[in-house]
Copies of this chain bind each other. A is one copy, B any other.
Amino acid sequence: MAEEISSMTLCPIGVIHTPYARREDIPRQGRLSTQLCEIEVFPEFACALKDIEQCTHLFVIFWLHLADRSRMTANPPHDGREHGVFATRSPNRPNPLALDIVELQGVMANRLRVLGMDALDGSILLDLKPYSAGIDSFPQAKIAWQKDGEA
């Protein structure tokens, strides 16, 4: 177990290109944005993209390099009350892993054009996974503390 834990180190597999240079530039809901962004996968990982163009939607996991990892609570915008970070999508959390779901618009070699990113420009890409409606879509999910479907 000790060996497993000590090896929990991530490797950069690419970089995310967006027009968002500062946190305050990021749209409040990436899903509603019409901004195309680009995910660049480093050449040494390009062969892991085989058939990715067959996926309409992807999970994108990236590193939140500006996060405060010591924060245990957050006050989401437009709510103001304090919630535990695990009950919010705050970037400040013990393991600063961001999760976006994007719509894939096109693939050119090791570059993906996507809709729905809310990453800072230059964010480090960690993983891509296909989104499957059959296992990942839960339209009945609710978050009682929020009014408008955003955490």
Contacts and interface: CB of A to CB of B under 8 A. Distances in A.
Contact of A141 (B12, B57, B143): B57
A16 to B, nearest CB: 13
Contact of A132 (B9, B12, B127, B150): B150
Interface string A23-44: 0000001110000000001000
Number of copies of this chain that the complex holds: 2
A33 B136 CA distance: 14
Contacts of A9: 8-10
A148 B134 contact: yes
A17 interface: no
B101 A56 contact: no
Contacts of A65: 4
Interface in A51-67: 51-52, 54-57, 59, 61, 63, 65
A123 to B, nearest CB: 10
Contacts of A103: 138
Given A4-B63, A61-B97, A124-B4, A150 B138 contact: no
Interface in A62-111: 63, 65, 69, 72-73, 82-89, 93-95, 97, 99, 101, 103
Pairs of residues from A and B, 3 with the lowest C-beta to C-beta distance, nearest first? A134-B149, A50-B84, A54-B144
